[in-house]
Amino acid sequence: MIPVILSGGSGTRLWPLSRSQHPKQFLPLVTEKTMLQETLLRLDGLEQISAPIVVCNEDHRFMVAEQLREMGATAEAIILEPVGRNTAPAVAMAALSAPSDDELLLVLAADHVIGDVPAFQAAIVAAAAAAEAGQLVTFGVVPTAPETGYGYIRRGAQGQDGATYAVESFVEKPDLATARGYIASADYYWNSGMFVFKASQYLQALERYQPEMLAACRKAHAGSKRSPDFVRLDKDAFTACPADSIDYAVMEKTDRAVVVPLDAGWNDVGSWSALWEVMSKDSQGNSVKGDVLSVDTHNSYIQSENKLVAVVGLDDMVVVETDDAVMVSPKSRVQEVKQIVELLRVAGRSESELHRKVYRPWGYYDSIDMGERHQAKRIVVNPGAKLSLQMHHHRAEHWIVVKGTASVTRGEEVLMLTENQSTYIPIGTTHSLENRGVIPLEMVEVQTGSYLGEDDIVRFEDLYGRTES
């Protein structure tokens, strides 16, 4: 069985911690491991689990690769989507990339929380048996409350195996009164968005119900470019693919759909209130992370990333501080945080996409100061890593080495700089930076010029396949 990890979400409702260039699946929200890493770790102990296939946004490829490397995991494939087309095409690409059509695919989201791992694994075993028999299996979460933020699955007759039920119907997110009726009937489950089926069965279903989608996916797969680390899909073919979810494209139409009940402490952590629910709490019902002081505060989520956060007299609130933003909201209205993200996008502000600290395949940079014609960054380059050979049309750069040794290419020169030494890169000069040492290289970069945007980069050579300007 091949885990197919869908890692394309942007997690806007968990802003300001989750941002489009560093969304929640790559963050250690609940434990010290990231949500992507936890998704793979909870499969440990299952028999005959193969290396995963990860489907992700092309912009996130290096985070996926690095987080797999940190946990000692090797992927069967990391498939890069040039554009998002929802879950049905994403899983089709995984099915087409599987070693054989007979492989079982265990489709999981990269950003869910599972509290009871043994119960989760038992449900997977039951689902695998049904999938081997040709069924298309989904997991229905046994509801604990009349939740209006989830879709539901209505179950039908119990299967002969005693572990599955026919899927009677998929139901859209209900209002509160309808959700209460679902809970009272005991015939409805929350729709988890997780599946098990044979690659061949899924592709046959797409052939029957969504032939245009499958044709586009086959064309994108046939035109893909493979490197040792990534599978880059044919952009034009995949962009032409219809966008749809697995539920709409296949599961609502097929007569092979069955559901396995899942009672394992599942949570999709889709909002700050959902995160509060799964986190440990103090005697006042508060979930607190970081440097926080609270007085007369109850049932709240408070997180500090950098500064002391002090709160007085709060009830049922969310307060989140990062290095460049503070978000405050009643827990009952945290779904509206995505409206803040949209306002940021409309205003063209970078806080919708990037943190002050931005991770790159070679390390990261932290924008520590910015003015109209200057910007200062702290740059950390990993041992053995190298920035692209590049130039800028509108800015010059001053580099000061704080720690380690830098190999600097500046035009036709190659310089070796050690601690407390510096160099100047004039506008229009080709340059590159490499850490040939065994410890991280730390530098301060001061940019000056008429335009300091990250899109003022012309790359000539790059170890990481980035060719955009």
Per-residue pLDDT of 122-151, as tens digits, reads: 999 999 999 999 999 999 999 999 988 899
Parse the chain into domains and list their residue ranges: 2-267, 272-337, 357-461
What topology is assigned to 2-267 in CATH?
Answer: Spore Coat Polysaccharide Biosynthesis Protein SpsA; Chain A (3.90.550)
> Nearest to residue 97, comparing CAs of 212, 235, 203, 213?
203
Peptide bond into 23 cis (omega under 30): no
Residues with Cβ within 8 Å of 66's Cβ and at least 6 positions away in sequence, in order, are 361
User: Distance between CA atoms of 120 and 143, rounded to whole angstroms?
Assistant: 15
For the stretch 262-286, pLDDT in tens is: 999 999 998 999 999 999 999 999 9
With both helix axes pointing from N to C terminus, report the angle between 87-97 and 199-209 in degrees, rounded to the nearest 10: 130
What 8-state DSSP symbol labels residue 234?
A: P
Among 3.40.50.300, 1.10.10.10, 2.60.120.10, 3.90.230.10, what is the CATH number of 357-461? Answer: 2.60.120.10
* Distance of alpha carbon 395 from alpha carbon 426, whole angstroms: 8
What lies within 8 Å, CB to CB, of 158 at 6+ separation is 164, 165
Q: Which helix (H) or strand (E) holds 87?
A: helix 87-97
Tracing tokens 């990261």 back to the chain, one arrives at: 364
Q: What residues in the chain have per-residue pLDDT under 70? A: 466-469
Asked whether this chain's domains 2-267 and 357-461 adopt the same fold, the reply is no
Predicted pLDDT at 466? 67
CB atoms within 10 A of CB 90: 25
Residues 6+ apart with CB under 8 A from 133: none
Strands (E), 299-453: 301-304, 309-312, 317-321, 326-330, 357-360, 363-370, 374-381, 389-391, 395-403, 406-410, 413-417, 422-425, 431-434, 441-449
pLDDT per residue over 185-210, tens digit each? 989 999 999 999 999 999 999 999 99
